[in-house]
Amino acid sequence: MTLPRTPSFRLDGRRALVAGASSGIGAACAVALAEQGAEVTLCARREPDLQALATEMRAEGWKADVLPLDITDTAATEAALAARPAFDVMVNSAGLARHAPAIDTTAGDFDAVANLNLRAAFFLTRSVAKRLLAEGKPGSLINITSQMAHVGGIDRAVYSATKHAVEGMTKSMAIEWGPKGIRVNTIAPTFIRTALTASTFANPERAAWIASKIKLGRVGEVTDIMGAVAFLASDAAALITGTSLIVDGGWTAD
Tens-place pLDDT, residues 161-185: 999 999 999 999 999 999 999 999 9
How far is residue 155's CA from residue 100's CA, in Å, rounded to a whole number?
A: 5
Q: Please report the pLDDT score of residue 154 as a whole number.
A: 85
CATH code for the domain defined by 15-195+221-247 = 3.40.50.720
Measuring CA to CA, how many Å separate 241 from each of 17, 111, 120, 130?
18, 29, 21, 17
How much is the pLDDT for 37? 98
Check if 159 is active-site: yes
What does pTM read for this prediction?
Answer: 0.95
Which segments in the chain show pLDDT lower than 70? none
Tally helices (H) and strands (E) across the chain: 9, 7
pLDDT at 92: 98
For the chain, domain boundaries? 15-195+221-247
Look at residue 211 in the predicted model and tell me its pLDDT.
Answer: 86
Give the pLDDT score at 195: 82
Q: Which residue is catalytic, options 62, 87, 123, 159?
A: 159
Alpha-carbon dihedral 92, 81, 42, 172, rounded to 10 degrees:
10
Per-residue model confidence as pLDDT tens digits over 56-95: 999 999 999 999 999 999 999 999 999 999 999 999 999 9
